[in-house]
A and B are shown apart, each in its own frame.
Chain A
Amino acid sequence: MRRGILLRLALVALLLALVLRPAWFAPIFAPFAPEGGPVIYDRASLLSLSLSHLGLVALASAAATLVAVTLAILVTRPAGAAFRPLSRTITNMGQTFPPVAVLALAVPALGFGAGPTLVALFLYGLLPIFENAVTALSNLPPATMEAARGIGLNRRQRLLQVELPLALPVILTGIRLSVVIALGTATIGSTVAARTLGEVIIAGLLTNNTAYVLHGGLIVGLFAVLIYDALVRLEAGLSRRMGLAKAA
């Protein structure tokens, strides 16, 4: 437990240093930079790129969560059951379409910038959330559902007071997968001029500057690991607080 906390603090410190004080790392990255070339990316502040990157991921994931959970609720109602295969097909298509292809297709419609990236991240994030929400909402404990009906909760009360709270931990797992995928995928948004940490990596690839690639990659990787970990802990905490798992 203690070692876990120390490790997390160390990773957070490393991440902050990489973003806020990139010059500190010049000696470490120098061997990877081309002869006489720049070692540290200085065409934009890494902080503003990070914030923009996280903002895009947050916005796309929030939209994906809203749409996917709403769809999952609809198709798990008796009236919406017929639409289940259809919505599954649609979300699956979102997943199979390569994000690069979505970007290429979206640019003519939305222009360069954040728009196409948001669309790609949104489509890519739908499936894990939708699948998890459908699974969670259709596998609730039958005796609890029978009792909820039998003691007089109406449909809306059953959904809000029983079904969604009980499904929440599993839905959160879907959101976590989706967010982590989006954190990585967002980097390619920079190919169509979205401001993300991908800018650093792509600049490195274009100029054969491995130092840039390493620096950008490390930051994205650390964000993904730390956010993943925070969400895992949130899920465990929620399950425990709601009495779904025995209190440790």
Chain B
Amino acid sequence: MIEIDRITRLYDGKPAVDAVSMTVETATITAIVGTSGSGKTTLLRMINRLVEPSSGEVRINGEPTTGLEKHVLRRRIGYAIQGHGLFPHHTVARNIGAVPRLLGWPAEKIRARVDELLDLFSMPPAEFRDRFPAELSGGQQQRVGVARALASRPDLLLMDEPFGALDPIIRTRAQEDLRRIQRALGSTILIVTHDMEEAIQLGDRVAVMDAGRLVQHGTPAEIITRPATAFVAEMVGGVERPLRLLSLFPVSDLIQEGPAEGAAVPDRTSLRDALSTCLWTGRDALPVERDGQRIGRVTLDAIRSRAECHA
């Protein structure tokens, strides 16, 4: 558990981050969203003390971060940034093994961990281990950057716009990969983004920052249905709200008995995608299947009332 306790950072007497408190539960993703200049990156950088707080403290599993030397603290916290920041003169394996090597792991254990992570990110170790970053595509470089941040099984992973430099298709894949890997490893992740869509898709919790203050911290559904301020409502985007809300739930939530024609959708399809399929194929109900077995249907009416009841 990460506790951020009334943390403040002043620049020239003005607060960039103003008395922000929040708690991040273990094995969850918290997305910090805000416009540029909202203080979200400063907040993130205070956690691994790349920026020193002017007041307040951060505790990781109860221990204040000030109890360790800075570089020792940082080796326990994964850090992935926009533009990946890989070491261009080191191979992929050496980049990923950077933190374990700093921690003095034996070479054999480092090699095993590197191969395990490359596998996890769908990059065959035999093919990628000895390449240099310049020989990889943008998406591959970014995956190596995240793998490096995860290498030592850190208590916490900080990510600052990690997908910012990727094109939309690769970005969607990278987000899905991150979600899958986070579930598999049970990592605790704090991710900074300016993209509310990304925050809603990735975050178990979303924290919205505005002008240095934390204006709302809650589940994606809460942020969409009950925005605390006009700013949050604007971030969530008025006309997109029902669609964003529907994107949070799978069709299995609204499953019912009854007839439906045409091709079936898997039960983990989001309601947004199901709605889109209804509209595109002109159907009022879609059959739903799980592992190839038909288990019921989802209707356009049910989807509509799910979106409406929050209006």
Interface of A is mostly: helix
Closest CB in chain A relative to B167 CB, distance in Å? 18
Interface of B is mostly: mixed
Q: How many residues of B are in contact with the other chain, CB < 8 A?
A: 32
Which A residues lie within 8 Å of B72 (CB)?
152
- Take A147-B81, A151-B148, A153-B71 as given contacts and tell me if A243 and B133 are in contact as well, using a CB distance cutoff of 8 Å: yes
Instruction: Tell me whether A166 is interfacial, beta carbon within 8 Å.
Output: yes
Which A residues lie within 8 Å of B82 (CB)?
143
Residue of A151, A162, A246 with most chain B CB atoms under a 10 A cut-off = A151
A150 to B158, CA, bound (A): 10
Give 1 or 0 for each of B179-223: 1 = CB within 8 Å of chain A CB: 000000000000000000000000000000000000000000000
Contact B89 A150 (CB under 8 A): no
Which A residues lie within 8 Å of B83 (CB)?
143
Q: In chain A, residues 168-204, which have Cβ atoms closer than 8 Å to a Cβ of chain B? A: none
Category for how many chain A residues contact B = 20 to 34
Give 1 or 0 for each of B89-127: 1 = CB within 8 Å of chain A CB: 111000000110010000000000000000000000000
Q: How many A-B residue pairs have CB under 8 A?
A: 79
Contact A166 B75 (CB under 8 A): no
Contact A244 B79 (CB under 8 A): no
Contact B81 A162 (CB under 8 A): no
- Take A150-B74, A151-B98 as given contacts and tell me if A243 and B84 are in contact as well, using a CB distance cutoff of 8 Å: no
Q: List 20 A-B contacts (CB under 8 A).
A: A144-B88, A147-B85, A148-B87, A149-B50, A150-B79, A151-B75, A152-B72, A152-B73, A152-B74, A152-B99, A153-B102, A154-B71, A243-B89, A243-B90, A243-B91, A243-B132, A243-B134, A243-B135, A245-B134, A247-B132
Hey, which bits of chain B sit against chain A, CB under 8 A?
48, 50, 71-76, 78-79, 81-91, 98-99, 102, 132-135, 145, 148-149, 158
Q: A151-B74, A154-B71 are in contact. List 5 more A-B contacts (CB 8 A).
A: A144-B87, A151-B75, A151-B78, A152-B72, A165-B89
* Interface pairs A-B: 3 shortest CB-CB: A243-B132, A147-B85, A152-B74
